[in-house]
Amino acid sequence: MPNRSVLVYDGDCAFCTTSVNYLMRRLRPNCDVTAWQFADLEALGVTQQRAERELLYVSPAGTVYGGAQAVAKLLLRAGGVWAWPGGLLTLPPMRWIAHGLYRLIATNRDRLPGGTPACALPADRRPGTQPAG
């Protein structure tokens, strides 16, 4: 289990990497940031399948938040003016809307600015990966 919160993202996805870098520069939350490809997922208590699917925020207590709720926790962790929208994202109906919007963006990340066709492929089929076996 980590001593600090950890934000886990897809390092093979240009859109995800650009988005996380932007958020970290703007928010400056007190947490570690790592691509799932370099993280000890077992120690964090998450599966590779989940890490491939969504942004993850893992608290020091081991609670895992995914997708829009990971963004909410990141905003709350940043504090200040960011805590207000972070708190809103945890409450219905904003939570439901945020979840739907997150899934829409995640599903179409290869079509968004900074995204590449490789973002649409499963991690084991992306360029530069070795076939299993």
For the record, the structure tokens of 93 come out as 């109906």
* Contact residues for 70 (Cβ-Cβ < 8 A; gap 6+): 7, 54, 55, 56, 57
Question: What is the Cα–Cα distance from 133 to 131, expressed in whole angstroms?
Answer: 6
* Tens of pLDDT, residues 30-80: 899 999 999 999 999 999 999 999 999 999 999 999 999 999 999 999 999
* Tens of pLDDT, residues 83-107: 999 999 999 999 999 999 999 999 8
Is residue 49 within 8 A of residue 10, CB to CB? The reply is: no
Count Cβ atoms below 10 Å from residue 2 Cβ, excluding itself. Answer: 18
Inter-axis angle of helices 68-78 and 94-107, nearest 10? 110
